[in-house]
């Protein structure tokens, strides 16, 4: 019995070590759009789409920038700016050990004076905010007249950073919410509006299983690679305007 227990403990220790390795490898390339990450990043299709879209709209990010829910500020290098400030709540679905945070807030009110920033960016954050309406009010309050807000938010994606995952929004939902706050929408781009969203969802599911049951990674990691390849080279050529990952919206705070 002791030998069996010892073997089990050794296997559990080995599995945990390999799972930690997978997590570190993923984190190191999680936000990269480099093509070679197609081999190791289960979220390659989504990240590449977000980065590509942000580059297209980077002209709207300028001056003094506030990054709401900044995390590690993974997209900061895509923009030209005078000053870049990251703000985070200390209550969220993940720790901030690797984050780059300049300001912490209580999840409700920004400790920032009115009209302080030329641009506010908010990437994959609004789905985690308890009071969505209050968040939009705070963004508008700290944004200077004539300034821009750039928001990305998923429409189709599994629950994550639970239990702090509260909503998904269609293109109509996010546009209507911004218009109700008197923002002037400049552009809205649907992210991954093709059948590669199915590949992205399956890859995410497979990676989640790998993190729970390492022994299945022998089968599932090659499947993730196959999904990425099929999504990138085949499925993204098949349009799916009503089934897509999310939205990237640019709106102006009128003068």
Going along the chain from its start, the domains and CATH numbers come out as 1-58+194-237 (no CATH), 61-193+240-255 (3.40.50.150)
Is the pLDDT at 230 greater than 90, yes or no? Answer: yes
Is the pLDDT at 115 greater than 90, yes or no? Answer: yes
Q: What is the pLDDT of residue 237?
A: 97
Is the pLDDT at 238 greater than 50, yes or no? Answer: yes
Q: What is the pLDDT of residue 125?
A: 97
pLDDT tens digits for 52-87?
999 999 999 999 999 999 999 999 999 999 999 999
d(CA 167, CA 233): 31
Percent of the chain with pLDDT over 90: 74
**Whole-number Cα distances in Å, 6 to 1, 14, 18, 19, 197:** 8, 12, 18, 20, 43
The first and second tokens of residue 239, run together, are 């349009």
Is the pLDDT at 136 greater than 70, yes or no? Answer: yes
pTM of the model: 0.88
Average pLDDT over residues 95-113: 85
Helix/strand/coil for 44: helix
Q: What is the pLDDT of residue 39?
A: 87
CA angle 207, 132, 192 (to 5 degrees): 40
Q: What is the pLDDT of residue 212?
A: 86
pLDDT tens digits for 177-215?
999 999 999 999 999 999 999 999 999 999 999 888 878
């Amino acid at each position: 019995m002791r030998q069996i227990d010892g073997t089990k403990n050794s296997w559990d220790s080995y599995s945990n070590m390999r799972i930690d390795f997978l997590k570190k490898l993923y984190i190191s390339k999680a936000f990269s759009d480099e093509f070679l990450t197609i081999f190791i990043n289960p979220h390659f299709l989504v990240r590449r789409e977000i980065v590509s879209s942000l580059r297209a709209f980077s002209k709207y990010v300028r001056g003094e920038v506030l990054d709401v829910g900044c995390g590690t500020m993974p997209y900061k290098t895509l923009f030209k700016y005078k000053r870049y400030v990251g703000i985070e709540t200390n209550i969220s679905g993940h720790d901030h050990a690797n984050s780059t945070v300049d300001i912490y807030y209580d999840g409700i009110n920004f400790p920032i004076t009115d009209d302080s920033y030329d641009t506010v960016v908010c990437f994959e954050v609004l789905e985690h905010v308890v009071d969505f309406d209050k968040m939009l009010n705070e963004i508008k309050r700290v944004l200077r007249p004539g300034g821009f807000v750039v928001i990305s938010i998923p429409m189709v994606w599994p629950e994550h950073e639970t239990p702090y995952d509260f909503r998904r929004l269609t293109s109509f939902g996010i546009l209507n919410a911004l218009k109700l706050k008197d923002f002037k929408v400049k552009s809205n781009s649907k992210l991954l509006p093709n059948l590669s969203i199915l590949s992205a969802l399956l890859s995410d599911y497979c990676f989640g299983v790998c993190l729970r049951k390492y022994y299945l990674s022998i089968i599932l990691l090659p499947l993730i690679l196959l999904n990425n390849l099929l999504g990138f080279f085949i499925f993204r050529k098949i349009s799916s305007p009503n089934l897509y990952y999310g939205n990237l919206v640019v709106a102006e705070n009128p003068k």
